Structure 1
Amino acid sequence: MTQEQIEIYSYSLAYRFLSENEKPWKGDSKKEIEYELLIKPNPSLEKIKSLMQKELKRVSKAEQFYIDSVASWMVTIKNMIEKIGDEESSKYLGIRPTIIDHIKSECSHPEFQSFNQYLIQRRDIDKCSHEELGHLSMLLTAFQRTIKIL
């Protein structure tokens, strides 16, 4: 995975997992940022950074929280890539489980089980940071919800 892809995932996941009142942008800027981060199939890091710079000229506590969150997600993503590789990481970071017909529950989905094992490994054996554990928990929950919808 390239550094650019890691940064795009960091911006996107930090934004996705902020509550509405923690998101510092409003109106058209918010729509543009959400399109680039959450909807566009191949987001441009240059465009994301440009939108952020435009909006971050008036740095508030919420905006600083977002910037810190991006940096924290970057650590989580780099650790994930190092431990489980690009392909598997991309699937979890993009919250794109493989569609499998006729599974009993989302918890029996092999990718969910694999991701859950990774989280347990990081929590119990590797003793990752609380922030990383929180990120992995949010991702696992989003992954599980996506499987349920499919």
Structure 2
Amino acid sequence: MKSLLVLLLTVFPLLSLASSRGEDQFIEKVYSVIEAKNGTFREVAPADLNPKQLAGLMKAAREEADIWYDTILEGDYMLNSEADIEVVELSQYYSASGELVAYRAVIQHAAFDVGEDNCTPGYISSGIFISPDFRFHFRDEDAIEDFTEL
């Protein structure tokens, strides 16, 4: 029993370390292409993804939208509870050598501006990068969450 405990305490931290290392490598690769300013985008439709990829895309979209609760939703905006997160743009992002380094998506959710006793309909949107295997994602700092009126 003690051996099993030692094995578990050894294996799980190593898996976590490997996962964070993979995520760090993904982020570094995307930023190196961005900084080199030699990446290219190719638009794709979410419908072109297989079911596993689409599930990964939507999982990343929901997790990235959760950030909004600590940012834009602390202000004068409220999500429309009758709507759900949507992917409104999807592109594949390639390095100069033609390697697929990420997917870039624009996600949005119907929302309201409730400031100053108004209830203006619109949507909150932001950009995100997702790894080609859909395991990792991070927000696009050049397209942070914003509200747009309808």
Q: TM-score, normalised by structure 1?
A: 0.26
Greater RCO (Cα-Cα under 8 Å, separation 6 or more): 1
**Larger % of helix: which?**
1
For the pair shown, the structure with the greater C-alpha radius of gyration is: 2
Say which structure is richer in strand: 2
